[in-house]
Amino acid sequence: MAPAEDKKPATPVSSQVSNLDVEKLYQHRFSADTKQQKERVWKVVVSEFFQQWIPETDTILDLGCGYGEFLNHIRGHRRIGVDFNPDAPGHLSPGIEFHQGDVTDLSFLQDNSIDTIFTSNMLEHLESKAHVEALTAEAQRVLKPGGQFIAMGPNMRFLHGEYWDFWDHIVAITDRSLVELLEYTGFTIQQAYPKFLPYTTQSKYPQNAFLVGLYLKFPPAWKVLGKQFLIRARKK
């Protein structure tokens, strides 16, 4: 792993899972109705929770941007998405920059050029812990001093067998293990929630905007329904 102070791009390592056709897999997994449902939920989650952490003047990078559930709703000066799925750009709003490829290779970005990096439900799809380490090293390089890294994902501490219900889940991560990695690679932890959102939008999760908003404002409910960690860290 490159040390936190090393400003050279991390050596690219392919994060593609086996030889899976990612576009085909996700088309199978997410129906049109499922995508619309996720979009409705994420619109509220972004506007009523994540936007408070992200100034509208920020340059924002979404690693594993998927169908734009986060990027389409966050307000920022510049929005950039990276994803291996070639189908992703067709779902992104105008003005969002898209780079198809490996999330561990951010060589198209200059050092100290990004204010906020966001990633949701992506780290577990990487091929190994070495790939997660390569990603955090690249995040360190491209983030401005004081820039923030926000990561959300399924928490293995609370999922166990359910975690493996998706074929492309590879790396098992907990809130504690990711905090340890981020601190080791030179980040300062700002917030670390072991439980935030439910595992998927198919879980027992409020679906209309009003109920989603209430859930976000009532952290005790996270402890009951939440199975995804949320960690916010800053580059020193």
pLDDT, tens digit only, all 236 positions of the chain: 333 333 333 333 344 444 455 555 455 444 455 556 778 899 999 999 999 999 999 999 999 999 999 999 999 999 999 998 888 999 999 999 999 999 999 999 999 999 999 999 999 999 999 999 999 999 999 999 999 999 999 999 999 788 888 778 899 999 999 999 999 999 999 999 999 999 876 555 666 778 999 999 999 999 999 999 999 999 99
Residue 110 belongs to a domain: yes
Residue 222 belongs to a domain: yes
Q: Is the pTM of this model over 0.95?
A: no
Provide the pLDDT for residue 38: 75
Provide the pLDDT for residue 40: 87
Residue 143 belongs to a domain: yes
Residue 9 belongs to a domain: no
Report how many domains make up the chain: 1
Residue 53 belongs to a domain: yes
Provide the pLDDT for residue 202: 57
Residue 209 belongs to a domain: yes
3-state SS, the chain, equals: CCCCCCCCCCCCCCCCCCCCCHHHHHHHHCCHHHHHHHHHHHHHHHHHCHHHHCCCCCEEEEECCCCCCCCCCCCCCEEEEEECCCCHHHHCCCCCEEEECCCCCCCCCCCCCEEEEEEECCHHHCCCHHHHHHHHHHHHHHEEEEEEEEEEEECHHHHHHHHHHCCCCCCCCCHHHHHHHHHHCCEEEEEEECCCCCCCCCCCCCCCHHHHHHHHCCHHHHHHHCCEEEEEEEEC
Residue 11 belongs to a domain: no
Domain extent at residue 222: 22-235
Provide the pLDDT for residue 204: 54
Provide the pLDDT for residue 143: 98
Residue 10 belongs to a domain: no
Can you give the CATH number for the domain in which 212 is found? 3.40.50.150
